[in-house]
Homo-oligomer: A and B are copies of this chain.
Amino acid sequence: MSLSAYLEARRTEIDAALAAWLPAPPETPAVVADAMRYSVTAGGKRLRPVLCLASAEAVGGDRASAMPAACAIEFIHTYSLIHDDLPAMDNDTMRRGRPTLHVVAGEGMAILAGDGLLTEAFALLSRHAGTGRAADAARTLRVIQVIAVAAGSAGMVGGQALDLACVTSDPSGRPALALDADGLRVMHGRKTGALIRAAAVAGAIMGGATDATIAAIDAAAAELGLAFQIVDDLLDVEGASHDLGKTAGKDAAAGKPTYPALYGVTQSRAMADACLARAETSLVRAGLTDSRLLDIGRWIVAREN
């Protein structure tokens, strides 16, 4: 199967599971269920859930056992986009080619829909704790821990807070926080990298991997997460709004530090390629040569949107 056929097949499975597991009336009031569904079904690359399923398969596990974790992570990713797009944060009005949720449902409902998706991620994880065997319960608890730490204030929320502090002026008009190259890497490691790593690690845990294999997948995913962010910055500089489905050049205009701004386009490209090479080394050392994980890494670096 070609990579594009593989990705298409996985996305179809993931989209079906997301649609089935989204809260709906009568348990959930329609006014907030509709808002949650609007954002989750807006499409997107489904990179994190695909990586989660591929990781479970790579370690010889059952794809179905990783599906709740894959969907929980996509719920969390979607909530983070909804909250990031709010006027008090990035103030984006377009996302994936459609008006952002706060534009169509109001700011209050957008905040609540994000809160609902984040909470539903943990409801979903704890509801599908496998067959009831003790090993399944232990794996599920470990996955909840990995995802909560990655998504929380030590991970994604913390990275977003650093990002926000970079574009918030103190009384003298300077940014409240100025990031150098190291600070930029740490910020993105939290904001984008942590959840990508958690996706791969959660798949490996649910797939029954050993701790050594989980660590190798974690290291590879950290490289892929950084490559993803560098390519994102490059696309923001190079891309047209049409292809990205969002406003191009917005980060640079907002004075946010980016990889091309710090290193230039050519060196940024080389850095992304180096990340991919290090991810490959990590996977090969763990004997994970016959998996889709590296293909997904190549796609992350070569993608055009």
Instruction: Identify the A interface with B (CB < 8 A).
Output: 23, 27-29, 31-33, 35-36, 79, 83, 86, 88-89, 106-109, 111-116, 118-120, 122-123, 125-127, 129, 134, 137-138, 140-142, 144-145, 148-149, 151-154, 157-158, 160-162, 164-165, 168, 176-177, 190
Known: A141-B140, A144-B126. A158 touches B107 (CB 8 A): no
Known: A29-B162, A119-B148. A111 touches B83 (CB 8 A): yes
Q: Which 3 A-B pairs have CB atoms at the shortest separation, nearest pair first?
A: A116-B153, A88-B107, A119-B152
Known: A144-B122, A144-B126, A168-B106. A157 touches B88 (CB 8 A): no
Among B107, B149, B157, point to the contact of A115 (Cβ < 8 A).
B157
Given known contacts A123-B145, A134-B138, what 20 new A-B pairs fall within 8 Å (CB)?
A28-B153, A29-B158, A32-B158, A32-B161, A79-B115, A83-B111, A83-B115, A88-B107, A108-B164, A112-B153, A114-B115, A115-B118, A116-B152, A119-B151, A119-B152, A119-B153, A120-B148, A126-B141, A126-B142, A126-B148
How far, in angstroms, from A34 to B163 measured CA to CA in the complex? 16
**B116 near A118 (CB under 8 angstroms)?**
no
**B111 near A86 (CB under 8 angstroms)?**
yes
Known: A33-B153, A115-B157, A129-B141. A122 touches B122 (CB 8 A): yes
**A157 near B119 (CB under 8 angstroms)?**
yes
Closest chain B CB from A38 CB (angstroms): 13
- What B residues does A29 contact at CB under 8 A? 153, 158, 161-162, 165, 190
Known: A32-B153, A116-B153, A161-B29. A148 touches B123 (CB 8 A): yes
